[in-house]
Amino acid sequence: MFIKKITQNIHRRCLIEKDDHVLAGVSGGPDSMCMLVVLRELSQKIKYRLTVAHFNHMLRGEESDGDAKFVKDHCSSLAIPFVGGEEDVSTWRKKHGGSREEAARTLRYRFFKEEAERLSANKIALAHHADDQAETVLMRILRGAGTGGLAGILPVRNGLYIRPLLFVTQNEIHSYLKKNKLPFREDRSNLEPDCLRNRVRLQLMPELREQYNPRITGALGRIAEISREEDEFLEEYTEGFLVNCLSERKKDRIVIKRSLFIRFHPAIRRRMIRSAVKHVKSDLKRLSYAHMEDAMELLEKEAVGKSLNWPGGIRVLFSYETLTITSEKKTAVMEGQTPFPIPGTLSFLGKKIIAQTAGVKEWEGRGREIDTVAWLDRKKLSSELVLKSRTPGDRFQPLGMSCEKKLKDFFIDRKIPAEERDELPLLVSNGKIVWIGGIEVSELVKIDGNTEDVVRILMK
């Protein structure tokens, strides 16, 4: 029955198929040794390759070294290929920070992935079981997780990591090991209540099992399975809505049409934001419910020109018409002024700006053309033009107006997103801004009935 449950999990979720190369992460403990024996048996039926990987965290001195030797020797006795790696977790933590468990996991998973790539293994098997799942769900309930978090440990992650034992309990694993007289190593650190998982495992779960529900492991496992299936459905459902709301989608930047976005139920909006963050960041680490609520609050307040800085370098920008989620680094503002010859070409603020001289007849009938093309009266321009980025106190006389106004107020009136204002090149003549790249020509240099020569400026 034990092997049958594992086989059903493998077949139902397509964890392993014929001709796969499975790299099994084996620590030497009861769970991973059980997985090793089961995978070896099934490899003869499903016809896949099996290699064992062991990572020594160097946390328990001779005991850690003993674990590595134990796994290597056992693989040798079974004629199973073995690869080993080691790194001092304590030393790594001093440099990078984080908890001992986080550091160990980071180094262990990095080793597994690197070895899988080197060996061309397309699956990495990990020995998480039903009790691990129950503990994970309970920990996430304590932290206030949503359905995504309550899905717990996934049977398959990223098409690479698989958990063949996820639907069998620790008691079933120990019974199988005892019945078949299989050896394993005990890690004494698992018996110390020095981290949240160990406290949940050693204190909370026994209390819940004895006082409230003897089948708590199965109950929490069902919550995980239901949450996972519903979360997968809602993610796919939400993705369709998000696509319809997009005005721009790049690797590190997603721009959502605000007018369409706000029509959806808050639950869908949260998922759309999470999906956008995952697109630009590839994960949702450290993104919490509080972050979502901050964004929802600014949307409800119809905030404009506001931004949120989220973990992992994510910025959320609110403009009049869009909601932008990006991991792009903000473009540095150019300091000072750059001389701009006419005719001439200049790269400024990441844009290529070309100035050409022409006769007025070339302008006639063309009008403004497109936003990236501007026409100016040559005689109204000084002989020494410069390009600059905006600075506090800048003023500008828009086309058709008889007086200047603050550049900031002009941007607000034109609904220019705050995050774009520093990236606009400004052409200055005689100390006055006469052109805002891609936006507006000043009244001071407009073409009129007396114009004889013009300057055509093209921005790419």
The 10s digit of each residue's pLDDT in 177-193 is: 999 999 999 888 887 88
Judgement on whether residues 321 and 368 belong to the same structural domain of the protein: no
438, pLDDT greater than 80: yes
pTM here is 0.70
Judgement on whether residues 31 and 82 belong to the same structural domain of the protein: yes
Give residue 336's pLDDT: 65
Judgement on whether residues 173 and 257 belong to the same structural domain of the protein: no
Percentage of the chain modeled with pLDDT above 90? 56
Judgement on whether residues 205 and 106 belong to the same structural domain of the protein: yes
Beta bridge partner(s), residue 346? 353
327, pLDDT greater than 90: no
Residue 258 lies in a domain: yes
Judgement on whether residues 445 and 425 belong to the same structural domain of the protein: yes
Query: pLDDT of 100-154, one tens digit each?
Result: 888 999 999 999 999 999 999 999 999 999 999 999 999 999 988 888 889 999 9
Give residue 62's pLDDT: 92
Q: How many separate domains does the chain show?
A: 3
Give residue 337's pLDDT: 78
Judgement on whether residues 302 and 450 belong to the same structural domain of the protein: no
Q: How confident is the model at residue 332 (pLDDT cuts 50, 70, 90)?
A: very low
Domain that holds residue 317: 251-326
Give residue 47's pLDDT: 96
Strand ranges across the sheet with 351-359? 344-348, 351-359, 453-459, 373-377
CB atoms within 10 A of CB 61: 8
Query: pLDDT of 149-180, one tens digit each?
Result: 899 999 999 999 999 999 999 999 999 999 99
Give residue 365's pLDDT: 56
Rounded to the nearest 10 degrees, how much is the dihedral formed by the CA atoms of 340, 341, 342, 347? -50
Judgement on whether residues 281 and 305 belong to the same structural domain of the protein: yes
38, pLDDT greater than 90: yes
Judgement on whether residues 76 and 191 belong to the same structural domain of the protein: yes
Judgement on whether residues 420 and 346 belong to the same structural domain of the protein: yes
Give residue 25's pLDDT: 98
Lookup result for tokens 């063309």: 366
370, pLDDT greater than 70: no
Instruction: Look at strands 306-310 and 344-348 and give their pairing.
Output: unpaired
Judgement on whether residues 343 and 322 belong to the same structural domain of the protein: no
Residues in Cβ contact with 368 at an 8 Å cutoff, skipping those fewer than 6 apart: 374, 375
Asked if residues 307 and 315 have their Cβ atoms less than 8 Å apart, the reply is: yes
Judgement on whether residues 56 and 94 belong to the same structural domain of the protein: yes
Nearest to 273 by CA among 297, 300, 238, 240: 238
Residue 238 lies in a domain: no
Query: pLDDT of 70-110, one tens digit each?
Result: 999 999 999 999 999 999 999 999 888 878 888 999 999 99
Query: pLDDT of 197-248, one tens digit each?
Result: 999 999 999 999 999 999 999 999 999 999 999 999 998 889 889 999 998 8
Lowest mean pLDDT among 31-45, 106-120, 121-135, 401-415: 401-415
Q: What is the mean pLDDT of the chain?
A: 89
Burial of 203 (0-12, 13-18, 19+ CB in 10 A): exposed
Residue 141 lies in a domain: yes
Among residues 207, 225, 243, the one where a domain terminates is 225
Peptide linkage before 343 cis (omega within 30 of 0): yes
Q: Look up residue 224 and give its amino acid.
A: A
Give residue 27's pLDDT: 96
Residue 246 lies in a domain: no
Taking each helix axis from N to C terminus, what angle separates 30-46 and 2-12, rounded to the nearest 10 degrees?
Answer: 70
Rounded to the nearest 10 degrees, how much is the dihedral formed by the CA atoms of 309, 310, 314, 318? -50
203 or 309, greater pLDDT:
203
